């Protein structure tokens, strides 16, 4: 039973998130229905990360098993044909070993968070950025971000309903840079807690506003208490850029 890895791009604003929900279409459901339409098979598509409602992906990874041995490019093109009315694009399909698992085999996840930091609202980038009309001190945010890099208990930046067994994670990268009126925050880790990136970004925004210092962020981290952390940044600014597997070329060099 051949297994395929898919790389997916999608606009999170069009879906209730990766997972099927009662209140609307999930990306997973849309892809599973496209598989049924093209191959006549009812499959489960497993993603590397179950993105929340509104969160975008430029490089989500997923896997599925098909009964028939289709050419990988045929799988990609057929899924895109059946997904053509939805904001989902299958960037690639590739045959993988039977023991490949999109979620459990992944050795890293790279996210980008975009803040539009200008007084006029977004017109062209609406829905893909967090609009922050008041000036943010990007240097202070970049400096404070270093506090969070490394091996820590991230309870203060973890959604209260997060189901991960341990709140301890290693954050490999958290960089803040200004590109004109946009602030780009890039995060990378083996894995993240639920809402971790958005909660870290919300806390960094407090630093950017001058409401918090770097020292306050250190205290929040040390508190190991979600109530001590900053607010959750909106979903629409977040994008899952890439999922990394051992042996793949490192995509972080391209960002």
CA 151 to chain centre: 20
Binding mask 7-26 for its own copies (x = CB under 8 A): --xxx---------------
Q: Is 52 a catalytic residue?
A: yes
121 binds its own copies (CB under 8 A): yes
* Strand 182-189 relative to strand 46-47, pairing: unpaired
Judged by CB under 8 A, which stretch of 41-49, 83-91, 149-157, 207-215 contacts its own copies?
83-91
- If DSSP states are collapsed to H, E and C, what string results for 73-84? HHHHHHHHHHCC
105 binds its own copies (CB under 8 A): no
Hey, which residues between 159 and 198 contact its own copies (CB under 8 A)? Answer: 180
- Residue 203 CB, shortest distance to its own copies, in Å, is 26
Judged by CB under 8 A, which stretch of 116-124, 196-204, 229-237, 242-250 contacts its own copies?
116-124
- Residue 9 CB, shortest distance to its own copies, in Å, is 4
Yes or no: say if 64 and 44 are a contact pair by the CB < 8 Å rule. Answer: yes
Distances from the Cα of 26 to the Cα of 12, 51, 98, 129, 193, angstroms: 10, 10, 26, 21, 21
CA torsion, ordered 30, 32, 36, 38, to nearest 10 deg: 70
Distance CA 77, CA 158 (A): 38
Give whichever of 217 and 238 is closer to its own copies, judged by the CB atom.
Answer: 238
Q: How many C-beta atoms lie closer than 10 Å to residue 20's C-beta?
A: 14
Q: Which tokens in the block code for residue 63?
A: 């896997």
The single residue of 22, 52, 73, 216 carrying the catalytic annotation is: 52
The catalytic residue positions are 52
Applying CB under 8 A, the residues found at the interface with its own copies are: 9-11, 56, 58, 76-77, 80, 84, 87-92, 118-124, 126, 128, 180, 239, 254
């Amino acid at each position: 039973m051949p297994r395929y890895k898919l790389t997916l791009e999608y606009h999170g604003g069009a879906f209730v998130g990766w997972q099927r929900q009662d209140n609307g279409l999930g990306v997973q459901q849309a892809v599973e229905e496209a598989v049924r339409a093209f191959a006549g098979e009812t499959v489960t598509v497993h993603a590397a990360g179950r993105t929340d409602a509104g969160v975008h992906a430029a490089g989500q990874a997923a896997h599925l098993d098909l009964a028939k041995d289709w050419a990988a490019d045929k799988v990609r093109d057929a899924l895109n044909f059946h997904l053509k009315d939805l904001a989902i694009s299958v960037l690639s399909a590739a045959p993988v070993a039977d023991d490949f698992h999109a979620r459990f085999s992944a050795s890293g996840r790279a996210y980008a968070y975009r803040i539009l930091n200008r007084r006029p609202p977004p017109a062209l980038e609406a829905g893909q950025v967090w609009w922050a009309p008041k000036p943010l001190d990007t240097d202070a945010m970049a400096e404070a971000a270093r506090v969070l890099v490394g091996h820590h208990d991230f309870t203060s930046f973890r959604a209260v309903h997060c189901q991960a067994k341990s709140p301890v994670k290693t954050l490999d990268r958290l960089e803040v840079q200004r590109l004109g009126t946009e602030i780009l925050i890039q995060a990378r880790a083996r894995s993240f807690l639920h809402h971790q990136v958005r909660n870290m970004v919300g806390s960094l925004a407090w630093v950017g506003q001058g409401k918090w210092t770097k020292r306050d962020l250190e205290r929040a981290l040390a508190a190991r208490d979600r109530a001590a952390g900053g607010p959750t940044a909106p979903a629409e600014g977040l994008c899952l850029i890439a999922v990394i597997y051992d042996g793949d070329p490192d995509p972080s060099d391209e960002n």
